[in-house]
Structure formats: structure tokens, C-alpha cells
Amino acid sequence: MFNDFEILEEDVPVHLQVKQYIKRLILKGALHGDQKLASTREMGQLLGVSRNTVIAAYEGLEEEGFVYTLQGKGSYVAPLSAATGDAVPPWKTEWSSRLNDYARQAVDLDRMKSGIRAGRNTISFTSIAPDDHLFDLDHVKRAFLDRMAIEGNVLLNYGYAKGYKPLIEFLMRYMEQKGVDLQGKDMLITSGFTEGFDMILAALGKNNGGAVLCENPTHHTAIKNLKLNGFEIKGIPMEHDGINLRELERALSERAYDCAYFVPSYHNPTGIVTSPGKRIALMKLMAEHQIPVIEDGFNEELRYSGSHALPLIATAGRGNGVIYIGSFSKVLFPGLRVGWVLADRELIDYLESIKRARNIHTSTLDQSVLFQYLHNGHLEKYLKKARAEYKRKYEWTRLCCEKYIPFARVTGDGGLHLFLEFEENFDTHQLLEACSENGVIFTPGDLFFTDGGGVNTMRVGFSRVSDEDIDKGLRIIGGLAAKQLEG
Amino acid sequence: MFNDFEILEEDVPVHLQVKQYIKRLILKGALHGDQKLASTREMGQLLGVSRNTVIAAYEGLEEEGFVYTLQGKGSYVAPLSAATGDAVPPWKTEWSSRLNDYARQAVDLDRMKSGIRAGRNTISFTSIAPDDHLFDLDHVKRAFLDRMAIEGNVLLNYGYAKGYKPLIEFLMRYMEQKGVDLQGKDMLITSGFTEGFDMILAALGKNNGGAVLCENPTHHTAIKNLKLNGFEIKGIPMEHDGINLRELERALSERAYDCAYFVPSYHNPTGIVTSPGKRIALMKLMAEHQIPVIEDGFNEELRYSGSHALPLIATAGRGNGVIYIGSFSKVLFPGLRVGWVLADRELIDYLESIKRARNIHTSTLDQSVLFQYLHNGHLEKYLKKARAEYKRKYEWTRLCCEKYIPFARVTGDGGLHLFLEFEENFDTHQLLEACSENGVIFTPGDLFFTDGGGVNTMRVGFSRVSDEDIDKGLRIIGGLAAKQLEG
């Protein structure tokens, strides 16, 4: 015994490694209860470490109750009545049979588990996460250190379910600047858009059978969360300037709905910005039919051209029927999981309790670093840089698409992605298979459709692809698409 | 117009404040579409700011689409078809009637909304959060800067639903050191204990009517989450060394259960550490009846005396029936919302998809700062300091309780709190009312009972109370309790 000790990790103190080594022997049952341990001097020789190291290790073992000391006699292994795992008969449970439909559906709808993964040199157009080369790390560091200096102890202890107060105040003013009437409204900080959306759906009653209106296609994570929460989705086709209002009116005449979900800016996946006029017309219909609206503020911050379009919640004035979910995840730093829900005060009060029940509160560190970053005035500068860069990339991608790809229609007014539609019966899954063999992947568009349609569509996310790879990747896709069209 | 401009915030650039001021006038309708704005020179004079400031403000407005420029003519207000909130008739919705029972129950069970709040000078024994004076902020700062230097870009972009890989690897080894057989097991990082627990409950089937075994009393947040997820709670009384096994056997003979929930170390609220022998006996019963166990690793790290007791998951060896939920929230920094679920690999795969559906992943910043802090070797040193301090405080609190308070029974082997039981029919809510009028509050114990019992009990959290206030506060409680007993 003791001849297989090795110093495995250079940056872990040796006495800790000795402690862990002996602990493992005790847990394995190789050392038994009340057995005397070698003296610290002897053990040091056995293991090839200093006596002081062994003293520190024995102290650590004693502190954790693995060893006891008899004055003048030495150290002994504590009798562990449950030392070895065989005291209890190990039994195997078949977990899948113990779980419910929610758990099963969560796996079935988990696109990350079924999607094609990019190999090392694959050019991937699947992501619409921000380009992390744009991140201004020094400002984030500064924000962290500033905030730690002001109230480090507060940041590391429990916070409030509603969120970090300075951040809420900042974002309330920020939303007011977008034209929102704050009267009667309140805010909850969530761990990103997805959590806000999921909690709202968990709270919403199904007075109308859980019927929900949305654009078709729409954000696939939203489709997943709607299904997981038991809602019935009614998708309305898109036009170049937003949802098709005639189709919407038809759907409204057919039945009542429990809510609607819309993405008015750089809509995922089509990239369409709903025009100001259509926003008003859409909201008039919602008001007339008294349908609560969940507005996805997705990528609103990236708007870089055209006249200003108010968020839906701003068009509603003092009305309390719109729930706005915001996030900087596609603009600033998705690693900081921070989003916000701005809505009627009474509703926020319910959501606050759900937030507390689900995970107490969003990371105070994330919230405070984000707050300090905003407070230090870095958002405007960063957005200016990001907008310019993404605009350039958008135009380059669009140019390459037009040059290489035999699509029937392209949509996308900017943002981080474009959406391509091929002629009917064209299968983008088949195209993806051929492309992935040639080192290029993208997102097939049918994932975003609420009705099984869209097999002839695809989303091209360009935010994290280099100019060179955009050209190269789209050329490959175009060539293979042309081949497929001929075949 | 323009005579009410004021520089409101010293640390926000003036041009941003001018931009926001003009934007507000546009949104209010005070400036209308296609109206010519004063020249930059004139506007500077009107507002009392430099011309360059106005130039920057106009540029910002143009970038956001609120203003357009005609070459050689000047700047104009963009026509905003949806500029004012009255384009859509504001409608009011009655949110409470649109929500479901889950939302209503979340509010009803939200203790934070009904509990007594501490005023400025109140001595509060309600918290069992760590004492933030113990936090080693410099090590946290160091950990942040170290990690940012290594992979700042990675930390701020999207991570994995399962968690930050270096942290998972570290915690797997950490759990192995506690005697856990890792074979066939895997780990999911969650935003604290509560999220892990809530997600497990959301996934668990109710093959046996949703019946759940637990200690009585038990962690009140666990009771809330069990109820919110539709489970039926069967609480088993506690003895000085853990759960009452005869009562447990009786309950097991009566019906089948879907799972059990246990807190073996410094049990909340009684402070009892389940003895090694009882852990084995308990687990033998669970194995015999094939009941999956959710183990709450609560405060395990604070164990500072006695012989080592294995976590339940370690006693199960290769069995896969135990789900262990760990967290450093009561030891290190609760503001970093990080917990972990260690369980059967197949089960973790389901939970990973639920995590992704609910909020994509836990803050990478939190996870990476925690990892680096652990990796830098600070946990051991910190725990040594924290254990010594809490032990000292525990003994002091116990002494003061014995000196001042006419309790019938006290439990609590250490940790961050004690639990007092008075003679039958004594009402601690009545006592709390009298105490809070005298500037002292505590947590009435009935909140922790699964069966409406415990009106004669209370929890005394001492972690965040000074020695002086512990003495003073418990003296007040004792005096008022004696009075109540006489009355």
C-alpha cells in the first residue's frame, strides 16, 4: 500500500492530494476503522513528501471526520459505519418509466440533440449568436471591478426575485425611451428571453383551449415552449412587411384565442421587420378581440435602417394587454443570462412568485455586471460598432446568396440572418445532407413552421462566419442546390 | 418648447441626454413628422449646450430613425406612423382571470409576500444565508480576472445546457471524494438547488398518485415546490438522530410512493444530522421498496464535528436510485446561482433537455468564476474559516437560548440555525407578533410542517446576526416567551 501515490495536478497543493489519496483508501475499505496510520514521518517517507505535508493532510482528514487522533499515540482511521457502498443493496431503476410526458416531450423537441453538429472545419450558418470578436472585454472587466468595489458583499449574497434594483430602474427608463407608457406597468428580470417566455406560458390559463396565434414560420424555441406548456399553435403566414392581415382576420373569425406571440423586428427566421403601419393594424385587431400579446423584443437593438418603428407595447399606450420580453443576448453577451419582462403590474406580481419558486432569482453577478456596463455608457458605442459590422456582413451575405444560390425568394431586412425559399417540393434536408458532406451546414427552415410546411426553406445565420467563409460556404450551397434542382 | 431641458445625470454624456430629450418630444407628438429641427447651432443655444453636442445628438437620432437629413437643408423629424400611443385603442385586461391555478398557487405559497419584514433596526433571526463578512472578495475578483484572461470571449457567449465543462469535471471529482461511485452517473449544472429540485419534480411521473415521502418538518421551499408540482406530501416525524424509522416503515406499508426527499445534514429546519447508521437503515428501506430518493446536500460542507457520514448517494454504491442536489449557496456565495444535480446518466439526459427548454443554461460567468475559485484552491481555506466561525456562533447561540428561552426542546447539531420547540399549545406566531413589536423577528416553525403541526416551534437562524445581537435578541424572545407561558 501507499506505493501508488502520484502528484497528479501541479496547481493543487500537495497536502490536498495526499489527503484525497488517503481518503480514497478509506472509502474503498483498504484502510479499516480504528486502524493506526503510519506516523507523519513514516508516511512522508512512504509517499515521498515532506512531513509537514502529511501533518496538513492528517489535519484535513480529521476535520472531515475521516481520522481521529489519540494524544501521544498517533492518528487512527475513524470507523465509518457506512464506509463502503455495499451496505445498501444497489438497486437499478428504469428512469424513463418513472418520468412523465413533459420530460419525454422535452427530449423529443430538443433540437440540439437531433441537429447536425459542425465538425472542426465545417462552415456553419446555423448560429445566430453574436460574433464574440466584437465583445469589448475590457469594458466588461471594468464593469465587474467597479461594481465589486461598490458592493461586492451584496452581489455575492442573495438578491431579490424581481431582480437587481439598479438594473430594473435602468431598463424601465430604457423602455420609456422606446415610447412605452410605464403607468401601471412593472418589470421582472429573468435568465434570458426563454425563461421569461416559459414562465408566462406556465402561468397563462387555457380559457380558450390554449389556442395561441403566431407568425408562421416563427422562432423554433417558442414553438417548443408553447408545445411543452400544452398550447395549440395557429400560425399565420408572413408577407414581406409582416404578418398577413387577411389570414389573421380569418383566423380571428374562426375561434377565440388565449394569447398571441409576435416577433416584430428581424423576425426569426424570416428576418422581416414588421412595418409601422402593419404594427398598428395588427394591434387594432388584438385590441378588438381582447387577445393578450406576448411581444418578443428579439434583435430590436440591431435595427440600423429605415424609420423608427415602435414596439407593440408602445403602440398600446396605457393598455395593459401586451407583455414585452427583452434581452440583449443577441446583441451584447448571451453568456450573461439576463432578460426582462415588462408588463402589467399585477401580472408581474404573479410572475415574480413563479420566478422565486423556480430558481429564487437571476444571478446577481450577471445583473450587476450588465447594469454597470450599461451605466458606464458602453451600450451606445457597442451598438454603433455592432450595427455597422452586422450591416456590412448582411449586405455581403445577401450579395453572395444572389450570386450563387438559385433560390425563389429571399427575405431578411438585416439582423443576423437571411431566409431563403426555393421552388416548391425542393427539400432543404436533402440539400443539407449533401452540404454537410462538403463541409457546410445551415438550418433547414421546416423547424420554424407551425404546420409542417417550409421543407423548401432554410435559414442562413451569418453573424459568426468570416467574410471568406460566407463566400466559400454559400458557393458550395449554391452549387449543390443547382445540382439538386437539375436532378 | 426646448426651455425645459435639464442635464439630469452627471455621469451620462450630455449628447445622449439631448438625444433622449428630443426623442421624448417626438414620441409625445410635440414634434411632428417632417418638421424641420433648429440648426445645430441654434439648438445648442436653445438648450445651453455646445454645437458639437447637438451634432452628436442629431446623429444618434438619425441612427435610430427618428430624424432624417436633407443634404444642405438640415435635419427633419421622421414621420412616425405609430408615433403616439393613441393609434390603438388602449384596452384593459383583468390578468388574474387569465391566469391558471399554478400562478395563483405560486402567489399563495410565496412566503416572502406574507412574512414579516425586518425594519431598519430589527434583529432578524429569519435568515440562514451566509454571513457576507466572511466572503473573500479578493479571491473572487482574482478568479474572475483569471478566467476572463483565459477565455473571456467564450464566457460571454452561449454555453452548454449541461453546464460549463471544467466546473462539471471539478464537481464530479469533488463528489467522488465524498465516496460516490460515479459509474453510470452524470451531472447537470442548475441555477441553485431550487431549480434542480423544481426541474426534477416537473419531470417525475405520478405512477403512485404523486405521493412523496419526506421528513416532517422539512425545508419549506421544498414543500412549496412539491405542492406546485402537484405532489402529495407524506411527512415522517424526526428524532434526534434523523427520521423515525418505525413511522417510516408504517408509511411504507400503507401505500406506494413516487419518490422521497431527504435532507441528511443540518436538516432544515431542525438542524439534525442523520447518523451514519440511520442513513444505512433508511437507504435499505428505500432499496427494498424501490423508491427513488432526492437527496438535498444542504450544508453538508459545513459539517465540522463527529465522524464522517456518507451522503445517501454514496451509500447506494452503483445503484442509480438516488438523485443528489448540491449547492454552495449556504457556504460560499448565494449570489452566484450555481447548483448541481448528480444522478443516473439517463435521467440527467432528460433533465438537460428540460433545462435547455426553460432557460438555455446557467450563467457561464457564475459557473466559470466559481470554477476558477475552486480551481485556485480557495474552498478548503474558506471552509476552514467559515466552519470555525459558524461553530463559534452556533455554540454562542445555543448558550443564549439555554440561558434565556423557556423552550421544551432544542435541536440543531451545528450549521446556521437552531430549532426550538415549546410546550404543546404554545403559539409561536403570537410570540412573533410580540417580538416584532420589540424589534426582534424569527421564523415560526409551522411553515416547515407538512401536516399543519409545529405551531409551538420556531427556527433561529444565527449566521447573519452579531454576537451582541444574538444575546440581545434571544433575551427579548425569552422574556416575551416567559410572559406568554404565564398568560
pLDDT of residue A83: 46
pLDDT of residue B217: 98
Report whether pLDDT(B149) > 50.
yes
Same domain, A274 and A327: yes
User: A86: pLDDT confidence band, cut at 50, 70 and 90?
Assistant: low
Same domain, A34 and A182: no
Which structural domain range is residue B27 located in? 14-85
| Closest by CA position to B142, among listed B374, B309, B323 | B374
Helix or strand or coil: residue A44?
Answer: helix
| Closest by CA position to A131, among listed A369, A324, A415, A400 | A415
Separation of alpha carbons A234 and A223, rounded Å: 11
User: A80: pLDDT confidence band, cut at 50, 70 and 90?
Assistant: low
Verify whether the Cβ–Cβ distance B357 to A106 is below 8 Å: yes
- Closest-CA residue of A relative to B21 is A177
**B67 assigned to some structural domain:** yes
Q: How many Cβ pairs closer than 8 A exist between chain A and B?
A: 423
Summarised one tens digit per residue, pLDDT across range B215-231 is: 999 999 999 999 999 99
Same domain, A286 and A200: yes
- In this structure, the number of other CB atoms found within 10 A of the CB of residue A112 comes to 11
Report whether pLDDT(A177) > 90.
no
Report whether pLDDT(B37) > 70.
yes
pLDDT of residue B304: 62
Same domain, A202 and A272: yes
Same domain, A315 and A412: no
Number of domains present in the structure of chain B: 3
User: A347: pLDDT confidence band, cut at 50, 70 and 90?
Assistant: very high
Separation of alpha carbons A417 and B238, rounded Å: 59
User: What's the CATH number where A320 sits?
Assistant: 3.40.640.10
**A260 assigned to some structural domain:** yes
Which cell numbers in the block locate residue B155? Answer: 464566457
Same domain, A326 and A404: no
Report whether pLDDT(A87) > 80.
no
**% of chain A beyond a pLDDT of 90:** 73
Report whether pLDDT(B85) > 70.
no
- Closest-CA residue of B relative to A357 is B225
pLDDT of residue B86: 59
Most confidently predicted of B34-38, B79-83, B287-291: B287-291
Most confidently predicted of B70-84, B137-151, B322-336: B137-151
Separation of alpha carbons B283 and B260, rounded Å: 11
Verify whether the Cβ–Cβ distance B316 to A365 is below 8 Å: no
Considering chain B, what is the average pLDDT of its residues?
Answer: 92
With residues binned 3-state (H G I as helix, E B as strand, rest as coil), the percentages for chain B, rounded to 5, are: 45, 15, 40
pLDDT of residue A79: 76
Who's near B79: CB < 8 A, 6+ residues apart? A307, B33, B34
User: A247: pLDDT confidence band, cut at 50, 70 and 90?
Assistant: very high
User: What's the CATH number where B468 sits?
Assistant: 3.90.1150.10
Peptide bond into B269 cis (omega under 30): yes
Same domain, B466 and B417: yes
The arithmetic mean of pLDDT across residues A352-373, rounded, is 96
Amino acid at A164: Y
For residues B219 and B419, the answer to whether their CB atoms sit within 8 Å is no
Verify whether the Cβ–Cβ distance B203 to A316 is below 8 Å: no
The arithmetic mean of pLDDT across residues B421-439, rounded, is 96
Separation of alpha carbons A448 and A456, rounded Å: 12
Same domain, B44 and B155: no
Summarised one tens digit per residue, pLDDT across range B360-405 is: 999 999 999 999 999 998 998 898 899 899 999 999 999 999 999 9
A177/B92: higher pLDDT: B92
Report whether pLDDT(B477) > 60.
yes
Verify whether the Cβ–Cβ distance B319 to A283 is below 8 Å: no
Query: Measuring CA to CA, how many Å separate B364 from each of A105, A327, B139, B191?
Result: 26, 16, 18, 11
Separation of alpha carbons B299 and B476, rounded Å: 29
Question: Of A162-166, A255-259, A475-479, B304-308, where does mean pLDDT reach its minimum?
Answer: B304-308
Verify whether the Cβ–Cβ distance B359 to A141 is below 8 Å: no
Report whether pLDDT(B306) > 50.
yes
Q: Which residues of chain A neighbour B361 with C-beta distances below 8 Å?
A: 337
pLDDT of residue B8: 75
Separation of alpha carbons A267 and A220, rounded Å: 12
User: What's the CATH number where B50 sits?
Assistant: 1.10.10.10
**A72 assigned to some structural domain:** yes
pLDDT of residue B71: 86
Verify whether the Cβ–Cβ distance A363 to B335 is below 8 Å: yes
**A97 assigned to some structural domain:** no
Nearest-10 Cα torsion for A96, A97, A99, A101: 100
- Which of B84, B95, B169, B305 best tests the A interface by mutation, with the highest count of A CBs <10 A? B95
B289/A17: higher pLDDT: B289
Same domain, A170 and A308: yes
Report whether pLDDT(B83) > 50.
no
- Which of A117, A283, A337 best tests the B interface by mutation, with the highest count of B CBs <10 A? A337
User: A304: pLDDT confidence band, cut at 50, 70 and 90?
Assistant: low
Same domain, A215 and A351: yes
Same domain, B264 and B312: yes
User: A305: pLDDT confidence band, cut at 50, 70 and 90?
Assistant: low
Same domain, A417 and A321: no
Report whether pLDDT(A85) > 90.
no
